[in-house]
Amino acid sequence: MPDRRPLDDVGAHVKDSRRFPGGRAFFAFDDASPATVIPKEASCYSCHRDHAAVDTAFVQFYPALPEIAKRSGTLSAAYLKNEAAAAGLVGVSAPNATP
């Protein structure tokens, strides 16, 4: 039988340049209230900017998506830099990167 425990934490990353300064916002949910916007000062924003593979989305955690992003040329420069550093390739240029 599946585990039916309540969710501990649910969030959403919404991209909408008309609604949000900077073009995106993060939201937190709980069981009883409508979602609330997480303040821009929260670490979510800088972490996604600095480490997400494609347009501030963590596609690197979904098995098929990194290869698709690589073929499409949509991997971010920050992600490629992080990957190069992790592989010991600091200073190597990153082809097919988006800023």
pLDDT digits (tens, 9 = 90+) for 60-72: 998 899 999 999 9
58 close to 43: Cβ distance less than 8 angstroms: no
Q: How far apart are CA 14 and CA 37, in angstroms?
A: 10
Same-domain check for residues 19 and 55 = no
What's this model's pTM, rounded to 2 decimal places? 0.68
Q: What is the pLDDT of residue 91?
A: 55
How many domains are there within the chain?
A: 2
Same-domain check for residues 82 and 57 = yes
Task: Confirm whether 91 is domain-assigned.
Answer: yes
Task: Confirm whether 1 is domain-assigned.
Answer: no
Same-domain check for residues 34 and 72 = no
User: What residues make up the domain containing 28?
Assistant: 7-41
